[in-house]
């Protein structure tokens, strides 16, 4: 259990470092678009790189195995909270708006951004799962790397951070805490290795960052001609076991 707590602290420290990095490179002038900054690639790249290296690294494989042994020896009951918590950060954006707390974008624009992020994230996760073919800790399948639940949670956490960090940084931080907890529970439930979770976090963060960076292009090239006729968004998702598609239409 101590190792799992240390993992939680490790991921949380990385997230806090990311927030400091973002604040140090972003302009303070109001803008609805997150501008590309190379420094913003550092944290997600390190997370993804750690996971990829861990597939073949004997040292990181031993760390993975140590956490699995800790889980198997000290935890008898499993909790499926991670099946739901993965969606909480993204859902919180819409919940806050429904209660009158305005974020950076309106319903249509933020839904386009979230849908773009989910498309990028899902494509990345599914591609890596089919290539890596890493066995899950519980031996149930060979699609462990990377963690789709964790990627979904961190994509939503970055989404919440970008939409509400100018209102209060605590909204964004709370999203990352929930996302980190989701990753920890994936290991707690013996469904993923540490390297799966860390890589999933990086993929989720990077997917949402890319969605914000390319949003001006998408708005201009795809949605401008439909501005007066409503907008339809199809956002696929993958939770590690099932595929799904969400559909949202604004009028």
Q: What is the pLDDT of residue 145?
A: 98
How far is residue 247's CA from residue 29's CA, in Å, rounded to a whole number?
Answer: 34
How far is residue 198's CA from residue 201's CA, in Å, rounded to a whole number?
Answer: 5
Task: For the chain, list the strands marked E by DSSP.
Answer: 231-238, 243-250
Q: What is the pLDDT of residue 2?
A: 55
Q: What is the pLDDT of residue 37?
A: 78
pTM above 0.85, yes or no: no
Contact by Cβ (8 Å): 194, 65: no
How far is residue 95's CA from residue 130's CA, in Å, rounded to a whole number?
Answer: 35
Q: What is the pLDDT of residue 247?
A: 52
The closest of 87, 224, 248, 81 to 159, measured between CA atoms, is 87
With a cut of 70, which residues of the chain have pLDDT below it? 1-35, 225-251
Q: What is the pLDDT of residue 227?
A: 45
Over residues 119-176, the pLDDT tens digits come to 999 999 999 999 999 999 999 999 999 999 999 999 999 999 999 999 999 999 999 9
Q: What are phi and psi of 246, to 5 degrees?
A: -100, 140
Q: What is the pLDDT of residue 80?
A: 86
């Amino acid at each position: 259990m101590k190792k799992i707590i240390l993992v939680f602290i490790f991921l949380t420290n990385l997230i806090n470092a990311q927030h400091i990095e973002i604040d140090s490179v972003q302009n303070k002038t109001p803008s609805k678009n997150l501008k590309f900054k190379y420094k913003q690639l550092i944290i997600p790249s390190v997370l993804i790189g750690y996971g990829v290296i861990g597939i073949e690294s004997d040292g990181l494989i031993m760390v993975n195995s140590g956490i699995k042994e800790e889980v198997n020896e000290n935890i008898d009951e499993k909790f499926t909270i991670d099946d739901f918590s993965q969606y909480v950060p993204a859902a919180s954006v819409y919940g806050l708006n429904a209660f009158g707390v305005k974020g950076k974008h309106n319903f249509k624009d933020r839904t386009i951004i979230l849908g773009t992020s989910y498309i990028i994230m899902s494509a990345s996760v599914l591609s890596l799962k089919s290539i890596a073919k890493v066995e899950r800790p519980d031996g149930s399948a060979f699609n462990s790397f990377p963690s789709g639940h964790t990627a979904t949670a961190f994509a939503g956490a970055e989404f919440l951070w970008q939409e509400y960090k100018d209102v209060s940084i605590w909204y964004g931080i709370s999203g990352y805490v929930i996302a980190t907890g989701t990753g920890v529970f994936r290991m707690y439930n013996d469904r993923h290795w540490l390297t799966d979770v860390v890589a999933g976090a990086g993929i989720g963060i990077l997917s949402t960052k890319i969605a914000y960076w390319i949003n001006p292009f998408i708005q201009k090239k795809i949605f401008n001609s439909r501005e007066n006729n409503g907008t339809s968004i199809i956002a696929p998702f993958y939770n590690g076991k099932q595929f799904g598609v969400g559909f949202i239409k604004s009028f």
